Structure 1
Amino acid sequence: MYRIQTLNNISPRGLEHLPRERYEVASEINDPDAILVRSFKMHDMDIPKTVRAIGRAGAGTNNIPVDVMSERGVPVFNAPGANANAVKELVIAGMLMAARNIAPAIRFVDSVDADDSKVIEDGKKKFAGFELPGRSLGIVGLGAIGVRVANSAHDLGMEVTGFDPKISVDNAWRLSAGVNQATTVDELCAKSQFLTVHVPLIDATKGLISAERIRSMPKDSVILNFARGGIVDEDAVLEALDSGHLHAYVCDFPSNKLKAHAKVIALPHLGASTGEAEENCAIMVARQIRDFLENGNVTNSVNFPESVLPRVENEPRLCIANANVPNMVGQMTSLLAKHNLNITDMLNKSRGNVAYTMVDVDSEIPQSVADELMGIEGVLSVRLLPAA
């Protein structure tokens, strides 16, 4: 039996992929093997030493102490792309709301006698907007969400340009041929009447859309932020809105100073708030946690290398996380040879400071061997999996 602790409500459709005959799942559980989480902030949490994996039913993992888990040899999984359609639809809705001044128009109707047709007709003149075809859209980050936004905006007749120096081959294949490429963020901002960001919040992206870059954008531009609040300089946005340089700011991260501004559309973090997205995220992360616990495979981890090795029937497996330094694999294989354990298959991958090795052998592995492996300097964690 594997024991899974949930720190938030996880979609039942996802938990169905953790069968009851092998998994005990509960919010209150002792010595869990893994943790499933959505928004719960884990940085101040005393994470049990028994935890072998953490799964985030969503894309961002800034609520999880990833570096600490890496030092413990614990992979952190997420669900990239599972909520991509939900976020894409909200971005498109945000562009339409800004272009047609929908939010201030709604506030106007709420403030007047809606049965007075003259008031309505006179008032609507203040909310005349513009259409999307022919407008330029710049997209920072062409991951699962950015690519969907790019393709949908292109289908709407917009002139779309993207910036992502690390775009994956898969996402490049999915991108419409009509989407242009910018070589720098500065170049992208200077030509974008609409600008949307789809990158994680890290040191390199904090304040990425700065006052200088906002000033370089065309007059009456719109900025959309459905990624993370700190990526866009809020004070610079408000200044640009007050001066009339920006037409609107649409974001999914409200604050008191933002919501008070008439040209801001601030939503309560609705990006992935659809039943479909929550189910997709839960299903994806549950499958990944199960595959890791049962087979040692790593898919969509933010701190471990992608590592998938098919199981051989009747062969046990060792899963070893270690510091990415020389001679680790040599020490491991020498120890196995000392115990007359014959390796039938092996996979070794690395990512940054972490390396991960899966080793299949043709005979039973004593627990003492796993204990000896843990004694090798640089080894972070060792798991001994029974024969498949």
Structure 2
Amino acid sequence: MNQIKLYNKISKVGLDNLDAAKYVCSEEFEDYDAVLVRSAKLHDVVFPKNLKCIARAGAGVNNIPVDRCAEEGIVVFNTPGANANAVKELVICALLLSSRKIVQGANWVRGLKGTPDIGPAAEKGKATYAGPEIAGKKLGVIGLGAIGVKVANAAVGLDMEVWGYDPFLSVDGALQLSRSVKHVTDLNEIFANCDYITVHVPLLADTKGIIGEAAFEKMKDGVRVVNLARGELVDEPAIAKALASGKVACYVSDFASDVILEQENAIVLPHLGASTPESEDNCAKMAVYEIAEYLEKGTIRNSVNFPNLKVPYETGYRMCMIHKNVQGMIGAITGVFSEEGANIENMGNRSRGDYAYTIMDISVEPNAAMIEKLGAIEGMISVRAIG
């Protein structure tokens, strides 16, 4: 029976997809085979030796010690695209909020409570909250992944002129992207030409502060910026300065901070991007599927620290090995099987940076001696038998 530790409340729709004969879930486990998590921070958690994988019900994995997990042979999954529609809808909402001063106007009207002839009084002050339409304006979408593509296509449908930037645009992304979107290869084109800019890239060392002081200097006066991806993608001192000077007419962020809240023309949301029941269900279902596929078949799909690999499997004896990406590893593995009289009937191998993953189906049931020999190979991180 596989034990799955829950670090947050996970949608029942997702958990119901687990075979009750094979899995049991609890928040109380101290020894467990897999983790399902949403926002809980795991950096200080000491993981048990039995832990094989962690699935994050969401796209970002900043709450998970990904590098340490790689060193310990723990596969980390995320669920790209599962919350894409929820975020897309909020981005479109944010574009309108940034333009039409809807939040400011609503707050002002609320302050009129008890005013005589409140209707005419409210309408008299509406000119203060006038703002431009988004139709016909240029929208720059930074990052054309699952969310960015949906945002770009939706904005095209709202008659915006959409410019998209992504140096790593996938084939699937390109096929899904509207032909009306202008794909640019220089990020500075987005900064210099667009009236609205929305960012949809992961938070990495080279994307932190991707929208900073140098970027604002290139932007149009009165540009509007939306960040529902990760707070650190936009440099806080730089955006504060740009808001104060009027360079940025409005900044909509899904990440609260004192620096941003001090700015009059900032709209700060409480991390609502993926907060829909549909999104939570979709993320949970995908995360559960990833765990089950890995534990039962060795399949890695949507991993952020190991290569994806799928080798067709029905029954038999399967060996799943995570190891360093070094020369001679496959030869060493096959040498062990030869010594133990095992024929290799099917196999797959993929590498990603410093790490590699190998699946081999063999003709005999693996014994303790075989697993011990495999584990002793220099560069081997983990060995697991299925079947």
| Counterpart Cα distance in 2 of 1:68 and 1:123 | 57
Q: How far apart, in 1, do the equivalents of 2:320 and 2:143 lie?
A: 34
SS at 2:335 equivalent: helix
Per-residue Cα deviation, 1:235-261 (whole angstroms, up to 9, x for no partner): 211211211121100010011222232
Aligned counterpart, 1:365: 366
Report the 3-state secondary structure (helix = DSSP H, G, I; strand = E; otherwise coil) of the residue aligned with 1:317: strand
- Distance in 2 (CA, whole Å) between partners of 1:202 and 1:304 is 17
Distance 1:117 1:42 in 2: 52
Cα distance in 2 between the residues matched to 1:44 and 1:134:
49
Among 238, 241, 244, which residue is 1:239 paired with? 241
Report the counterpart of residue 16 of structure 1 in structure 2: 16
Q: Distance in 1 between the 2:184 and 2:190 partners?
A: 6
Q: 2:323 — aligned with what?
A: 322
1:282 equivalent among 269, 284, 289: 284
Map of 1:226 onto structure 2: 228
CA distances 1:159-185 after superposition (whole Å, capped 9, x unpaired): 101111111111110000010012121
The answer for the alignment partner of 1:383 in structure 2 is: 384
Cα distance in 2, alignment partners of residues 118 and 93 from structure 1: 28
Paired residue secondary structure (1:96): helix
| 1:238-292 deviations in Å (ceiling 9; x for gaps) | 2112111211000100112222322111000000000000000000010010010
Unmatched segments (≥5 aa) in structure 1: none
Question: Considering only aligned residues, what root-mean-square deviation do their CA atoms show, in Å?
Answer: 1.0
Post-superposition offset of 1:158: 0.5
Extract unaligned runs of 5+ from structure 2.
none
Aligned to 2:344: 343
How far apart, CA to CA, are the structure 2 residues paired with 1:15 and 1:223? 37
One-letter amino acid matched to 2:337: L
Whether the aligned pair in 2 keeps the contact of 1:367 and 1:384 (CA below 8 Å) is: no
Report the counterpart of residue 68 of structure 2 in structure 1: 68
SS at structure 1 position matched to 2:308: coil
Give the partner amino acid of 1:64: I
Which string of whole-angstrom CA distances, capped at 9 and with x for unpartnered residues, describes residues 174-199 of structure 1? 00001001212112111111000001
Structure 1 runs (4+) deviating above 3 angstroms are: none
Give, as a single letter, the amino acid of the residue that structure 2 aligns with 1:77. F
Alignment partner, residue 333 of structure 2 = 332
Shift of 1:24: 1.1
Residue in 2 aligned with 1:142? 144
Map 1:246-285 → 2, pairs under 5 A: 246-285=248-287
SS of 1:68's equivalent in the other structure is: helix
Residue number in structure 1 paired with 2:35: 35
Deviation (angstroms), 1:361: 1.1
Q: Where does residue 87 of structure 2 map in the other structure? A: 87
- Structure 1 residue 202: Cα displacement: 1.1
Q: How far off its partner does 1:233 sit?
A: 1.2
Given that 1:373 and 1:379 are in contact with CA atoms closer than 8 Å, whether structure 2 keeps it comes out as: yes
**Is 2:46 the counterpart of 1:46?**
yes
Measure, in 1, the Cα distance between the counterparts of 2:195 and 2:302: 34
For 1:117, the aligned partner's letter is G
1:13 to partner: Cα distance: 0.7
- SS at structure 1 position matched to 2:125: helix
Instruction: Provide the residue aligned with 2:194 in structure 1.
Output: 192
Identity of aligned residues (%): 45
Counterpart Cα distance in 2 of 1:212 and 1:66: 31
1:98 counterpart residue number: 98
Distance 1:38 1:301 in 2: 16
Distance 1:263 1:85 in 2: 27
Contact 1:321–1:380 (CA under 8 A) maintained in structure 2: yes
Counterpart of 2:379, as a letter, is G
Structure 2 CA distance for aligned equivalents of residues 31 and 59 of structure 1? 26
Structure 2 residue aligned with 1:154: 156
Q: Secondary structure at the match of 1:239?
A: helix
- TM-score, with normalisation over the residues of structure 2? 0.98
Q: Count residues with an aligned counterpart.
A: 385
Please list the CA deviations of residues 188-232 of structure 1 after superposition, one character each: whole Å capped at 9, or x if unmatched: 111111000001111101111011211211111100001100110
| TM-aligned CA deviation for residue 107 of structure 1 | 1.4
Contact 1:151 1:175 in 2 (8 A): yes
- Residue identity matched to 1:331: A
